[in-house]
Structure 1
Amino acid sequence: MGVLTAAELNYLVFRYLQESGFIHAAFTLGYEAGIHKGGIDGNAVPPGALITVVQKGLHYIELESNTEENDEEIEKDFALLEPLEIITKDVEELQQLVKKRKRERSQTDREKDKGKEKERNEEHERRPGGERERDRHDKEKEQVREKDKSEKDREHEKEKEKEKQHTERIDKVKHEEDSLAGGGPTPMDVSVTAQEICSTDVTVLEGHSSEVFACAWSPTGSLLASGSGDSTARIWTIPDGPCGSSMQSSLPGVHVLKHFKGRTNEKSKDVTTLDWNGEGTLLATGSYDGQARIWSRDGELKQTLFKHKGPIFSLKWNKKGDFLLSGSVDKTAIVWDTKTWECKQQFEFHSAPTLDVDWRNNNSFATCSTDNMIYVCKIGEQRPVKAFSGHQSEVNAIKWDPTGSFLASCSDDWTAKIWSMKQDKCVFDFKEHTKEIYTIRWSPTGPGTNNPNQQLLLASASFDSTIKLWEVEQGRLLYSLAGHRQPVYSVAFSPDGEYLASGSLDQCLHIWSVKEGRILKTYRGTGGIFEVCWNKEGSKIAACFSNNTVCVMDFRM
């Protein structure tokens, strides 16, 4: 199974930091860890998580800026930390660890000094006047112990208070979740029987030579696009007939969209994101090399868009198709005019990498970043038309509801929030997850959709292995779906809004009944799942895997 190795990830991070001018011992430790946010040993690294490694290294710029110690002392502090801790803990936690280990080191040193002191005392006792000398040393030691004890007590009290606050937060989360779930349907249990989708009923698309990070169905036909760490995207034609292993031998040719010429293992040009235009005639791909590329449906390269100075992690066409929006690690978002393929406007509001972008309508959109901020922007405006602050950590994803009335966001601070242009503070603050929330999706239901008689729902997928369904009219938890055993990276509603597909690092794809909150079908693959998507009819589901494959299966009830 092809995976992104620690060495390869280290090289990527090193190159990015080196080109950005960051050379520090802290980053060297970060490289050694070689894991991703919420990662599990042995699983591949999705593109959206690569930025986390970079950011956790950048945390050390903040850590360094908040200390008055000299370079030599800072290097000693870094040496007290383990590589894994550097990219899995925030600055405050790291500072606490440094303080704790400094105290432990001081205690060890004192123990050593105590041993030496004992030897000296014994020597003094063998000499004239040794008793008086020992008394003086005992008095000095007692003073030192009292001082150390006082400092230790103060630190201990601080730690106890912080631990108490953390425990209260966890208890509150559990209490609220129990209360909400207790008044309605109970959370799903993984043991609930679901229909197993047999491997013989699944078409496996092979050809990629590295993890497949993204997949998307054309909105107008039977074409399926996939983007991979092998620096290619592919366009597959999926026949209308039933899926299965027997279909694989009769699949039409696949179009391979090569993103560079040369060695096929050059990791700096991973395809990180892709999106079809509304007519299904053009496919846009974003790459780790900072370039966006436009392809025809038969795989012909139409345009290459140069302006970003860092990896692109989000790429979206507006509904009209006259503008393409991209968000990058270089902290900016760019609107491209699809008639001239020139930069219409570059938006430079964030102070850290841009992680996601989403159109509200044909000329306004939102962006989110690792700087914890969300901005709503409009073409032609030089400043944000709205700034939403409230998240306490990086904002991983944002999505407008089908009518553009509400904006949902999710973050590493364990919360999902819903915002309105009519107010500055969030309308709802959902705190029931117990780990980072990786992605969110609105249901295609409610007023202004093809399913106007169904209520509007929001799904959030988290590293706590659960998916939560929120009823947004009253802002309450409808279901907690607990069928996965590892972080959930992707969720997608069926076009009719009645079903939800989810994919996880536990290698399982689940299909849930939205109405009943239970698993209906399950497919067990052989790799972590990075994305799931439905075709426009809702009759087929695709999923992309860390074992270099894309799987397609039928859905019938």
Structure 2
Amino acid sequence: MSLYDESFELKELQRLEGHTDRVWGLSWNPTTGVDGVPAVLASCSGDKTVRIWQQSSPSGSFECKAVLEETHTRTVRSCAWSPSGKLLATASFDATTAIWEQIGNDFECVSTLEGHENEVKSVSWNASGSLLATCGRDKSVWIWEVLPGNEFECVSVLQGHTQDVKMVQWHPSMDVLVSCSYDNTIKVWAEDGDSDDWHCVQTLAESNNGHSSTVWAIFFNASGDKMITCSDDLTIKIWGTDIIRMQSGDGNATWKHLCTLSGYHDRTIFSVHWSREGVIASGAADDAIRLFVENKDGLVDGPMCKLLLKKDKAHDMDINSVQWSYSDNRMLASASDDGTVKIWELTSLP
């Protein structure tokens, strides 16, 4: 029996309260939730803080273990754990990105990255943890190299978007970076092997089956051969590439539009995330979560994806982020303008 054939429900396990303003972003620590290590989740908010939530046991409830505050002076828009799980990067409207390290039971800000002219909207680590990308309202994307001693050096400032850049996301296995923007486009960036310069290798726009309005978020599937995007145009789009050609460094391994999911949300779609099991989650300004699954049954004429379930009124207000756990394919976190984080479990109906 495949995911495509089962019936599911999204069961609310816990509502996490403590933020005093809208919650913008979420990030699961990728090294937790396995081998008896309790799962750890970070959330960031308009209240200028980041909260660290930890599960009391592998199947227990989540509790707030730390509040990272008095560093950012404005909204914290995005947070991301490094692949090692040792560092947490937080991007803020105060034009800085802070790097936090857990030392004992406390978190300390060990580095502050400055350079963006104004609001930093998103932060993302590459697969090895050697590079960090940030983007902002100043229309730029910055790539930082991680040096010993928690030092960070900007190695490239990428100019190409004509508007506010909403999100950056590294490919799960290669040093290829993707960004999306208020200018309705998605840009793919790669390093030139000869010059070590970063440049835009592809732009996905409305003219090549792209979005017709602001693109809010991007994510990849586990194997890295597909990418999902969501937009103010109320659609979700799936893109595919020849991963073998991409891995070989073939510059012709471009991303191609595979399908568009429309009619599932009736307000802006702010977040999409792909579980390792292959379930796509979306969260939107209509307070709803939708789950989709790829058709793996080889139906050539059938839809590429089907709606797995609809969760209306998942929150009281806009849903800004949905994030599947790295360790538990069926655990989902969501963050909302209502100031709460919710933990959900995808369960099969009998």
TM-score range, shorter chain: 0.7 to 0.9
Matching residue of 2:132: 324
1:219 aligns with 2:35: no
Shift in Å, 1:438: 2.5
1:428 aligns with 2:259: yes
Q: Provide, for residues 408-460 of structure 1, a one-character-per-residue CA deviation record: whole Å limited to 9, x for no partner.
A: 22222232223345457523233444633332222314xxxxxxxxxx45444
Aligned match for 1:229, one of 46, 51, 57: 46
Alignment of 1:85-96 (within 5 A): none
8 Å contact 1:407–1:418 — kept in the other structure?
yes
Matching residue of 2:312: 484
Say which structure is richer in strand.
2
Aligned match for 1:467, one of 286, 290, 302: 290
CA distance in 1, matches of 2:343, 2:291: 25
CA distance in 2, matches of 1:400, 1:277: 17
Matching residue of 1:363: 175
8 Å contact 1:396–1:412 — kept in the other structure?
yes
TM-score by length of 2: 0.74
Matching residue of 1:295: 100
Gaps of 5+ in 1: 1-183, 261-267, 446-455, 486-503, 508-526
8 Å contact 1:185–1:479 — kept in the other structure?
no
Distance change (3 Å), C-alpha of 1:554 and 1:364: closer
Distance change (3 Å), C-alpha of 1:460 and 1:205: closer
Kindly indicate whether structure 1 or structure 2 has the higher relative contact order, using CA contacts under 8 Å at least 6 residues apart: 2
8 Å contact 1:399–1:441 — kept in the other structure?
yes
8 Å contact 2:185–2:215 — kept in the other structure?
yes
CA distance in 2, matches of 1:408, 1:206: 30
CA distance in 2, matches of 1:415, 1:555: 23
8 Å contact 1:212–1:226 — kept in the other structure?
yes
Distance change (3 Å), C-alpha of 1:429 and 1:318: same
Distance change (3 Å), C-alpha of 1:402 and 1:534: closer
Q: Provide, for residues 286-327 of structure 1, a one-character-per-residue CA deviation record: whole Å limited to 9, x for no partner.
A: 101121000002311110000111212211111100001112
8 Å contact 2:30–2:327 — kept in the other structure?
no
8 Å contact 1:257–1:299 — kept in the other structure?
no
Alignment of 1:107-118 (within 5 A): none
8 Å contact 1:320–1:362 — kept in the other structure?
no
Matching residue of 1:100: none
8 Å contact 1:457–1:472 — kept in the other structure?
no
Aligned match for 2:239, one of 397, 416, 419: 419
Question: How much is the aligned-residue C-alpha RMSD, in angstroms?
Answer: 3.4
Gaps of 5+ in 2: 33-37, 242-252
Distance change (3 Å), C-alpha of 1:459 and 1:219: closer
Distance change (3 Å), C-alpha of 1:554 and 1:365: closer
TM-score by length of 1: 0.48
CA distance in 1, matches of 2:95, 2:235: 30
Distance change (3 Å), C-alpha of 1:241 and 1:231: same
CA distance in 2, matches of 1:410, 1:196: 24
Distance change (3 Å), C-alpha of 1:426 and 1:381: farther
Distance change (3 Å), C-alpha of 1:552 and 1:482: closer
For these two proteins, the number of residue pairs brought into alignment is 305
Instruction: State, as a whole percentage, how many aligned pairs show the same letter.
Output: 27
CA distance in 1, matches of 2:50, 2:181: 26
8 Å contact 2:270–2:321 — kept in the other structure?
no
Q: Secondary structure at the match of 2:21?
A: coil
Matching residue of 2:213: 393
Aligned match for 2:188, one of 347, 357, 376: 376
Distance change (3 Å), C-alpha of 1:195 and 1:552: closer
Distance change (3 Å), C-alpha of 1:224 and 1:402: closer
CA distance in 1, matches of 2:345, 2:174: 34
Q: For 1:479, give the aligned amino acid.
A: L
CA distance in 1, matches of 2:342, 2:28: 13
Distance change (3 Å), C-alpha of 1:396 and 1:344: same
CA distance in 2, matches of 1:273, 1:294: 12
